[in-house]
Structures are given as structure tokens and as C-alpha cells.
Amino acid sequence: MKRLAVLSELEHNHQKYKFRDPSFKKMMAALTFASVITFTNLYFVQPIMPLLVRSFNISSASAGLSLSVAVISMILGLIFFSFLSDRIGRTKVMNVTLICSLIPLILLPLVPNFVLFLLLRFFQGFFIAGLPAAAIVYISEEVAPQSTGLGIMMYIAANGAGGMFGRIFVGYIADVASWKVSLFIWFCFALILFIIYYVNLPKSYYFQASQVSAGKDLVSIFSHLKNVLLIPAFIMGVLLQFSFTGIWTYLPFYLENDPFHLQVRDTSLTYLAYLTGIFGSIAAGRLSIHMKKPILVTMGTLLLIAGAWLTNIPSLPTVIIGLCLTCLGFFVSHSLMSAIVNERAAHHKAGASSLYLVHYYLGVATGGTLAGVIWQFFGWMGITVISLSLVPIMIWLNFYKR
């Protein structure tokens, strides 16, 4: 009991981390490595989809399920692990789920058919949700208020960097060797990243277990669906990702055909366009101090649409410029939509943010499958037309006040 009392006093006297503190830097480094693991595990299938089509003798739309089933289970995981982290702690959830998300990497190359591949992706997607369900709350609990915004911005930028790295890393090795070899290599590398993450992640000092029942939490979360100020934001989250995911999921199929004839290793390098989006989200955060967020979202959305349409021009440099504009517009819009949801929620702001995240990943799921049907019937032009669905919601977001 005495030891527990001493520990309790130490934790009570512990100061929240500030930007210049070494522990803040260790925390952000650890969460960056965790982001690389998480978002590589989610998105590594995108650059290798043409290889999956040939390996399992399936259609391009069926290959899109390799992303969609992981995202669907991830949505379930987001809800489950959000509740669980409120009760057992943020770091426990992040640690266990990161390890569990690595297990399928050594099994996926061994499966004899695509059905088993999808089952393993469903399992993996559920545990991928652990980090996004707990990380932002962990930052907000452990970091001083004046540094929290910066910490969250750095974490979101790390998410984008993690997804970009994974697509390039797995895609390039898959083309040089095979997609099976690339997953084994990624597993070994991810294990090293996890060890670095685990050693550097500071313990949680300010976590307090929730005493509210899960039922009451659910009621609070879903009450936001009645808020007419949040409805356009939720729909915007779906359509932003639907359009963006559709483009990046079926880009490898577009670029392997006339007039480009790119190999998977070359296509995977186009994901470097994400760098423009990462820097764009940081710039948007600074601009939002001086400009209204919905106006900045409109600017970002128009950039996304313009970039998507530029990719229809059969010139590789023009396509790359279009992809950079698409990434810039998407990350600007998405980073600010999260802030808009937080501002417009009258109560239970964490629940509103979780609900936005659920809609966001619904867009990923539909962008991976429904966009595949559009691709099969209408080709690349059909994929880029999806971006126009953002226009009416963009207008609604700006002009509906009450």
C-alpha cells in the first residue's frame, strides 16, 4: 500500500509534456513509428493489387476488397477499442493491438486462396484500429494544453507519412521480388519498429478509467447524428475518402495500361505525392488562425477536384501534378474537417470526433469496392467523376448555419 501511495504521489507531481521536453520528442517519435506500422498494414495492398489479380485470378473490383474488408473491421475496432481504452488505458490498447496487427503478415503469403486472404485482412483490420482509437486521446491527456495541438498535428502528419512509406516500401519490393516476399520483409522491419516504439513510448500518467457505461457512451456518440451542423461534416468525411481512395486504389491499374505501361515499382513511387499533402495539412493549420475553416475546406476540395481531373490527361508529368494537387487538397480538407467537427459539437466532442472517423473510414471502404465497379464500367474517367460529388456537400458545409 505504501509503494502504491508513493507511486500515486509521483504521478500526481508529474508535469505534462511540453514541446521542448525530451519526453515529448520521445512520445512523438514512438507514435510516428506506430503510425508507420499501422498505416502500412492498412494500405500496403493498394500498390500490389495488380499482382493480387494475377496471383489469385480475380477481378480488379475483387482485389479492392483486400482494402475494404480491412477497413470495415477497422470501423468495428474503432468503436470497440475507443470504449476499451477508456477503461483499461491508452498504452495497453496501443501495445497489444500493434502486435496483433503484425501476425497476419506472416500468414498472408501462405494462404492458398483469396477468401482466406480476405479473412486474415479482416482480422488485421480490427487490430489496426487500436492506434487511431487511442493515440489522439493519449496525446491530449499527457501533453500540456499549449503543445497538444502541435502534438496532434505531428501525429496526423505521421499517419500520412506512414501510409506513404508503406505503399512505396511494399510496392517496390513486391515488383522486384514478389508480393509474398515483400510481406515477409515488411514483417521483420515492422517488428524492429515496434520494439523502438515500445521502448520510447512514455507511460500514461493522466489516464483515468471511465465510470460511464458503454451504453451511455453509445447514446452520446449517436446523438450527434441529429445535429444538423455536423451532418454535412460527416457526409463530407465519407465523400472525401471515397473519392481519394478510389483514385489511389485504382491508379496502379490505370498506369499499367496505355499510354503509360508502368511497372508496380514505378507506380509505387507516385505515392511520394503524399508529401505535398503532409506539408499542406501543416500549412492549413496555420492558415486556419486567420481564415474561416469551411472556406479553407472549400479551397482544398477544389484543389482535389482539379487534381483528379488533371489525371485524365494522358501525360505522365501531368498525372503526377494532378496527384500532388489531389493529395494537397485532400489533406487540407481532412485536417480541417476534424477541427470543424470538434467546434460544431455542442457536447461529447470526443464522441463526435469518433463518429467523424467512422464516416471517414466508411469512405475508404466504399472507395475500395464501389469505385472498383465504376472502374470496370467507366474506366479512369468514371473514377475522377466521383470527385464532383463533393461539390453540393461543400456548399452545404459553408452556407448552412442553423
Out of 149-158, 188-197, 200-209, pick the least confident: 149-158
- With 0-12 CB in 10 A as exposed, 13-18 as middle and 19+ as buried, what is 308? buried
Query: SS3 letters for 370-388?
Result: HHHHHHHHHHHHHHHHHHH
User: What pLDDT, in 10s, does the model give residues 322-347?
Assistant: 999 999 999 888 878 877 887 787 76
Band of the pLDDT at 223, cuts 50, 70, 90?
confident
Q: pLDDT at position 3, please? A: 41
Query: Is the pLDDT higher at 203 or at 109?
Result: 109
Find the DSSP H helices in 270-348. Answer: 274-287, 293-310, 316-344
How far apart, in Å, do the first and last CA atoms of the chain sit?
Answer: 55
Q: How far apart are CA 221 and CA 241, in angstroms?
A: 21
Domains for the chain: give ranges and CATH numbers: 20-201 (1.20.1250.20), 214-402 (1.20.1250.20)
Band of the pLDDT at 292, cuts 50, 70, 90?
confident
User: What pLDDT, in 10s, does the model give residues 30-48?
Assistant: 999 999 999 999 999 999 9
Mean pLDDT of all residues belonging to the chain: 87
User: What pLDDT, in 10s, does the model give residues 19-31?
Assistant: 778 889 999 999 9
Q: pLDDT at position 10, please? A: 45
- CA-wise closest residue to 293 among 248, 250, 344, 246: 344
CA 351 to chain centre: 18
Band of the pLDDT at 52, cuts 50, 70, 90?
very high
Residues of the chain above pLDDT 90, percent: 49
Q: How far apart are CA 101 and CA 262, in angstroms?
A: 31
